[in-house]
């Protein structure tokens, strides 16, 4: 049947287009609804809608670029409004937000594209199985457009997924532990009133802030033990997010207000029962995706870096003998043997001397989100942009006070703004949050430069989140410069920090990858089995890569990251971001950040390796990170 169609098309357009015609007809066949539209309908459609390569095809490309961008972008813009109540701190928190925030405006788009033949039109003219990099800008745009319409996830399945995932979201943001309400096995341990920490971010950061504090070590150990209890389900559900409930950990009992002590019931696999729902939703989506499973979908389709390459890079970092050398450096700084939580050690830049004290208040300088917004022009000028350009970039960014720690949300269409969310307390933006602001500003400047002026809208953005992280870290590095601290001369310790961040997160990322394989090997797994499996997988990874530096007991740290519960298989994005980030940083050394970033961002969303080669002239590689770390260790004498 399609042979007949191909023949007719060749007769009409000439045999020089034979290859392209059979490509188009084959790709269109895959997305055509034969039951509804019939074979004859298919033939007529192909005959009418096939456009041979050349000027006409380019016109069609421009038209579809405009068409898809306006629809997809408008729905993406709507999503910002949908989520506003949950994301922005300066709004009343209405109970209705739970309902509103769960709405998924894009869930019907794929089905509509099929129904109205948009998918057919795109696949007939731009669909391809080709994996080699295109050679022209229009080639890239056509390739990216060709990805649209191939998959069709039934709307009810994406809705189910959205519901499950927003339930996990709420669960994670309410996983607050009130450390001042607990009694610890070590009776010397206590925490100040109101110490409320979210798992795992809050626990981790607070634990690390105790380095060098009076009675710090016993408290760090107590928090480490809490993390282990989270992983193993040894926390009673009653204490979550409730400042009234007391928990006597060694006595294994709890007390609710107005009641007497009663024995503890552990929460068991509660975290994993939340994950279980998302996972079930994911499994029902799988058969409708191109690769049929989340692992290949993530690596081949989204990241476009093979699993083999990513696992190879993570392993190279984890197995590197540089870790032992940095371990010795940290040991000397903290004057004790390393403990498992030292994988989160970040105090490198102070080098034990403390940071230079500023002679003004950061909170006073940036009292509100608006003040931060205003400051962007000046910051960009300090980073090398000319004022007019800096002002234009600023005009595309809006800073909001965030409920969460901070995030950036790129513009979805020409009339939309780049959003920067950061926590601004009542007294203003403190130094820690200002560093987050700088990080998010890096995302935002990338978001602006890689979008509004792009030649094709389908190429908006960068190849993946990891690339955006590269710019975010580059900006974050300049925090001290912007705050007015003099060059600290701490370049070598900072380099150790870069490696240590990558070394720490590579473990959970690899744990997550192995855990996903286990999930596909055990499709009937219960929440309880999941909880045990990830602990087992994480422990074996600890033995393999971390025990040599921190000792044999890993306390489940590999599996504590809350990200895993979201089920979007995200963690590897961080180490890939650090790796690419370091390559970009190394390249920028001695060059102008402003100038280079403009050129880099103009590449748009092409293949990661093509981006790297065309911008930096080298493939994605761990080598620069390892080499620079070794150099820094030599300088420091470790
Ligand atoms: Zn980031």
* DSSP states along 239-255: GTT-TT-EEETTTTEEE
Q: In 3D, which of 582, 563, 446 has the Cα closest to residue 199? A: 563
CB 80 within 8 A of CB 105: no
pTM: 0.87
So what's the pLDDT on residue 470? 87
Q: Quick one: average pLDDT of 252-276?
A: 95
- Which 3-state string (H, E, C) describes 145-197? HCCCCCCCCCHHHHHHHHHHHHHHHHHHHCCEEEHHHEECCCCCCCCCCCCEE
So what's the pLDDT on residue 84? 87
Distance 489 CA to ligand 1 centre (A): 25
Q: In 3D, which of 144, 124, 146, 139 has the Cα closest to residue 24? A: 124
DSSP tag of 359: S
CA 171 to chain centre: 19
Average pLDDT of the chain, as a whole number:
93
Residues 514 and 528: their CA atoms lie apart, in Å, by 17
Residues 379 and 372: their CA atoms lie apart, in Å, by 10
Distance 234 CA to ligand 1 centre (A): 31
Distance 110 CA to ligand 1 centre (A): 29
Distance 580 CA to ligand 1 centre (A): 13
Coil, helix or strand at residue 135: coil
Distance 465 CA to ligand 1 centre (A): 8
Distance 443 CA to ligand 1 centre (A): 7
Distance 167 CA to ligand 1 centre (A): 23
Distance 557 CA to ligand 1 centre (A): 22
Distance 331 CA to ligand 1 centre (A): 29
Distance 469 CA to ligand 1 centre (A): 5
* DSSP states along 415-432: T--EEEEE--BTTB--HH
- Residue with the larger pLDDT of the pair 486 and 2: 2
Coil, helix or strand at residue 408: strand
DSSP tag of 266: B
Task: Name every residue whose Cβ is closer than 8 Å to that of residue 75 and which is 6 or more positions away in sequence.
Answer: 105, 106, 109, 412
CB 429 within 8 A of CB 362: yes
DSSP tag of 486: P
CB 376 within 8 A of CB 445: no
Distance 163 CA to ligand 1 centre (A): 25
pLDDT per position as a tens digit, 588-599: 888 999 999 999
Burial, 637: exposed, middle or buried (Cβ in 10 Å; 0-12, 13-18, 19+)? exposed
Residues 501 and 345: their CA atoms lie apart, in Å, by 9
Distance 572 CA to ligand 1 centre (A): 13
Distance 513 CA to ligand 1 centre (A): 21
Distance 441 CA to ligand 1 centre (A): 9
Distance 155 CA to ligand 1 centre (A): 30
pLDDT per position as a tens digit, 93-118: 788 988 898 888 988 899 999 999 99
Helix or strand holding residue 142 (H, E): helix 137-145
Distance 472 CA to ligand 1 centre (A): 6
Distance 410 CA to ligand 1 centre (A): 12
Distance 396 CA to ligand 1 centre (A): 19
* DSSP states along 487-537: P---HHHHHHHHHHHHHHHHHHHHHHHHHHHHHHH-TT--HHHHHHHHHHH
Distance 452 CA to ligand 1 centre (A): 21
Distance 587 CA to ligand 1 centre (A): 20
Pairing of strands 418-422, 397-401: parallel
CB 223 within 8 A of CB 200: no
pLDDT per position as a tens digit, 605-623: 999 999 999 999 999 999 9
Q: In 3D, which of 199, 206, 110 has the Cα closest to residue 149? A: 110
Q: Quick one: average pLDDT of 161-186?
A: 92
So what's the pLDDT on residue 1? 62
pLDDT bracket for residue 146 (50, 70, 90): very high
Distance 18 CA to ligand 1 centre (A): 47
Q: Where are the domains of the chain?
A: 2-145, 311-355+488-636, 362-483
Burial, 192: exposed, middle or buried (Cβ in 10 Å; 0-12, 13-18, 19+)? exposed
Distance 382 CA to ligand 1 centre (A): 21
Whether 349 has a pLDDT exceeding 80, the answer reads no
CB 145 within 8 A of CB 126: yes
Residues 173 and 98: their CA atoms lie apart, in Å, by 13
pLDDT bracket for residue 350 (50, 70, 90): low
Whether 633 has a pLDDT exceeding 50, the answer reads yes
Residues 192 and 181: their CA atoms lie apart, in Å, by 10
Distance 440 CA to ligand 1 centre (A): 6
Pairing of strands 246-248, 253-255: antiparallel
Whether 353 has a pLDDT exceeding 70, the answer reads no
Distance 576 CA to ligand 1 centre (A): 12
Distance 243 CA to ligand 1 centre (A): 31
Burial, 357: exposed, middle or buried (Cβ in 10 Å; 0-12, 13-18, 19+)? exposed
Whether 3 has a pLDDT exceeding 50, the answer reads yes
Distance 38 CA to ligand 1 centre (A): 48
Distance 483 CA to ligand 1 centre (A): 20
Whether 354 has a pLDDT exceeding 90, the answer reads no
Distance 59 CA to ligand 1 centre (A): 37
Distance 445 CA to ligand 1 centre (A): 12
CA distance readout (Å), 557 to 202, 343, 625 = 14, 9, 24
Distance 406 CA to ligand 1 centre (A): 9
CB 177 within 8 A of CB 229: no
Distance 439 CA to ligand 1 centre (A): 6
pLDDT bracket for residue 491 (50, 70, 90): confident
Query: What's the chain's Rg over C-alpha atoms?
Result: 26
Whether 452 has a pLDDT exceeding 70, the answer reads yes
Q: Tokens standing for 147?
A: 């990805």
Distance 289 CA to ligand 1 centre (A): 27
Distance 454 CA to ligand 1 centre (A): 22
pLDDT bracket for residue 352 (50, 70, 90): very low
Residues 518 and 505: their CA atoms lie apart, in Å, by 20
**604: number of Cβ within 10 Å:** 22
pLDDT per position as a tens digit, 16-62: 999 999 999 999 999 999 999 999 999 999 999 999 999 999 999 99
Instruction: Look at the alpha carbons of 290, 295, 296, 300 in this order and tell me if their dihedral is positive or negative.
Output: positive
Pairing of strands 397-401, 262-263: unpaired
Whether 539 has a pLDDT exceeding 90, the answer reads yes
């Amino acid at each position: 049947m399609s042979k007949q169609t191909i023949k007719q098309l060749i007769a009409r357009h000439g045999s020089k287009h034979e290859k392209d015609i059979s490509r188009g007809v084959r790709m269109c066949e895959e997305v055509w609804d034969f039951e509804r539209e019939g074979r004859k309908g298919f033939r007529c459609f192909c005959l009418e809608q096939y456009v041979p390569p050349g000027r006409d095809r380019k016109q069609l490309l421009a038209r579809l670029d405009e068409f898809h961008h306006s629809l997809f972008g408008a729905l993406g813009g709507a999503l910002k409004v949908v989520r506003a109540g949950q994301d922005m701190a300066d709004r009343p928190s209405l109970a209705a937000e739970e309902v509103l925030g769960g709405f998924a405006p894009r869930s019907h788009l794929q089905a509509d594209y099929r129904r109205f033949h948009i998918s057919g039109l795109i696949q007939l003219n731009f669909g391809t199985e080709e994996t080699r990099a295109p050679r022209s800008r229009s080639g890239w745009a056509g390739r990216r457009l060709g990805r649209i319409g191939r998959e069709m996830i039934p709307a009810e399945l994406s809705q189910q997924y959205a519901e499950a995932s927003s339930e996990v979201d709420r669960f994670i943001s309410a996983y607050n532990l009130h450390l001042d309400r607990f009694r610890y096995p070590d009776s010397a341990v206590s925490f100040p009133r109101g110490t409320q920490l979210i798992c795992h971010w809050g626990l981790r950061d607070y634990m690390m802030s105790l380095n060098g504090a009076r009675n710090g070590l016993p408290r760090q150990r107590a928090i480490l033990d809490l993390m282990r209890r989270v992983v193993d389900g040894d926390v009673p559900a009653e204490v979550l997010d409730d400042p009234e409930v007391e928990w006597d950990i060694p006595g294994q009992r709890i007390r609710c207000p107005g009641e007497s002590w009663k024995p503890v019931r552990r929460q068991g696999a509660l975290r994993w029962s939340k994950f279980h729902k998302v996972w079930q939703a994911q499994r029902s989506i799988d058969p409708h995706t191109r690769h049929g499973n989340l692992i290949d979908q993530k690596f081949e389709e989204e990241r476009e870096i093979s699993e083999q390459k990513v696992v190879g890079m993570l392993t190279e970092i984890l197995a590197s003998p540089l870790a032992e050398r940095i371990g010795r450096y940290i040991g000397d700084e903290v004057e004790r043997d390393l403990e498992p939580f030292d994988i989160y050690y970040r105090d490198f830049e102070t080098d034990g001397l403390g940071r230079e004290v500023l002679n003004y208040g950061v909170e006073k300088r940036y009292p509100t989100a608006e003040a931060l917004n205003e400051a962007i022009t000046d910051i960009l000028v300090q980073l090398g942009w000319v004022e007019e350009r800096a002002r234009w970039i600023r005009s595309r960014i809006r800073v909001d006070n965030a409920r969460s720690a901070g995030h950036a949300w790129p513009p979805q269409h020409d009339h939309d703004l780049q959003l920067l969310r950061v926590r601004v307390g009542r007294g203003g933006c403190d130094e820690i949050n200002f560093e987050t602001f700088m990080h998010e500003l890096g995302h935002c400047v990338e978001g602006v430069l890689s979008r509004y002026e792009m030649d094709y809208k389908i190429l908006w953005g960068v190849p993946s989140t990891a690339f955006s992280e590269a710019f975010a870290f580059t900006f974050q590095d300049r925090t001290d410069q912007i705050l007015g601290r003099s060059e600290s001369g701490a370049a070598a310790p900072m380099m150790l920090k870069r490696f240590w961040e990558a070394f720490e997160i590579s473990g959970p990322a690899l744990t997550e990858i192995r855990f996903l394989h286990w999930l596909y090997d055990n499709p009937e797994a219960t929440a309880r089995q999941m909880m045990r499996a990830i602990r087992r997988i994480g422990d074996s990874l600890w033995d393999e890569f971390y025990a040599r530096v921190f000792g044999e007991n890993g306390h489940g740290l590999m599996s504590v990251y809350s990200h895993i519960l979201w089920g979007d298989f995200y963690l590897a994005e961080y180490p890939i971001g650090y790796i690419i980030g370091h390559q970009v940083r190394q390249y920028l050394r001695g060059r102008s950040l402003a100038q280079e970033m403009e050129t880099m961002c103009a590449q748009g969303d092409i293949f990661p390796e093509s981006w790297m080669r065309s911008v930096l002239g080298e493939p994605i590689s761990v080598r620069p990170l390892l080499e620079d770390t070794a150099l820094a260790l030599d300088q420091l004498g470790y």
